[in-house]
Amino acid sequence: MPNPLIVACVQLCAGPNTDANLATLRVSIAAAAGEGAQLVCLPEYCATLDEGPRGLEVAPEPEATHGALAALRAAAQEHRVWLSVGSLGVTAPDGRTWNRSYLLDPQGSIRARYDKLHLFDVDLAGGESYRESAVIAPGETATVAQTPWGGLGLSICYDLRFPQLYRALAKAGASVLLVPAAFTRTTGRAHWHVLLRARAIETGCYVVAASQCGEAPNGRLARYGHSLIVSPWGEVLADAGEAPGHVAATLDLDRVAQARAMIPALRHDRPFDVVREPTSAPERP
- 249 — pLDDT class (breaks 50, 70, 90): very high
Amino acid at 187: T
Residue 283 maps to a domain: no
Residue 5's φ and ψ, nearest 5 degrees, are -120, 125
Q: Whose CA is closest to 105, among 61, 148, 42?
A: 148
* Catalytic residue selected from 116, 132, 205, 213: 116
Which has the higher per-residue pLDDT, 240 or 2? 240
Q: Is residue 278 part of a domain?
A: no
Known catalytic membership, residue 157: yes
Rounded-to-integer distance, Cα 100 and Cα 122, Å = 20
Domain for residue 277, yes or no? no
Mean pLDDT of 138-153: 97
Residue 275 lies in a domain: no
Residue 236 domain-assigned (yes or no): yes
* Chain segment 75-133, per-residue pLDDT in tens: 999 999 999 999 999 999 888 899 999 999 999 999 999 999 999 988 888 878 888 98
Q: Is residue 250 part of a domain?
A: yes
Q: How many domains does the chain have?
A: 1
Confirm whether 171 is a catalytic residue: no
pLDDT of amino acid 263: 97
Q: Annotated catalytic residue: which of 9, 13, 41, 44?
A: 44
pLDDT at 218: 63
Cβ atoms of residues 203 and 171 within 8 Å: no
pLDDT at 160 over 70: yes
Active site residue 116: yes
| 59: CATH | 3.60.110.10
- Smallest CA-to-CA distance from 14 within 238, 217, 158 is with 217
Within a domain: 282:
no
| pLDDT digit string, tens, across residues 188-217 | 999 999 999 999 999 999 999 999 999 876
Residue 182 has pLDDT above 80, yes or no: yes
Q: Is the pLDDT of residue 53 over 80?
A: no
Best CA proximity match to 114, nearest among 49, 63, 77: 63
Range of the domain at 43: 5-263
pLDDT of residue 282: 64
In the structure, what pLDDT confidence band is assigned to residue 184 with cuts at 50, 70 and 90? very high
